[in-house]
Amino acid sequence: MARVGQSSGAPSKRDQVVTAGGEGRAVFLDRDGVINRSIVRNGRPYAPLHLDEFEILPGVSQATRDLRGAGLSIIVVTNQPDVGAGRQTRDVVEAMHDKMCAEIAVDAVKVCYHIEADGCDCRKPLSGMLLSAAEEFDISLGKSFMVGDRWRDVDAGHAAGCRTYFIDQGYDESLRQTPDHFVADLPEAARHILSMTLK
């Protein structure tokens, strides 16, 4: 441990964009709490339900551009169970992702819309979205990274064989596995990833 200072449904256009020069390496990013601000109530994080609540966090745009500039593909892997539970529409989620892709460097967006009871293989902490992306984009998972802010992200990254970065947002929940690195935010994770990949 170190301290450093499948998509549900038919693939969208976002799922088919791949940056040149990826060299089989990727940074997998959770969405809420990593890219955009989560809605926190009683110590628990929730995804924004409305487009006007979707706010990209400071430094994220530059961090993703820096990672992509180093030849790393940027792939978002996100659970959005509010759709499966009927609290959210897929159209709103896709509008959020259109906004996200317009503001930051993203090569693909993988979304699990299921609820846990559906028993799918894409919902984190399972690694289905990462494995699907690896096959689709010829990614070496052992040379790739997973950045998240919840235990499900860490477990999914470990299950896929990626190096994991945990952003501690102080939520009222515990980790189940130890991440490889603890960081304050995505920009810090990006700096550390770049320090290793550019050696």
Q: Which residues are catalytic?
A: 30, 32
| H or E element in which residue 133 lies | helix 128-137
Between helix 60-69 and helix 186-197 the angle, nearest 10°, is 10
- Classified as helix, coil or strand, 139 is coil
Which residues, including other chains, have CB under 8 Å from residue 120's CB and lie 6 or more apart?
A: 8, 112, 114, 126, 128
Query: What is the rounded CA–CA span in Å between residue 44 and residue 38?
Result: 9
Q: Which 8-state DSSP code applies to residue 22?
A: -
- For residue 148, the SS3 value is strand
How far apart are alpha carbons 134 and 186 in whole angstroms? 21
Query: How are the residues of the chain apportioned to helix, strand and coil, as percentages rounded to the nearest 5?
Result: 35, 20, 45
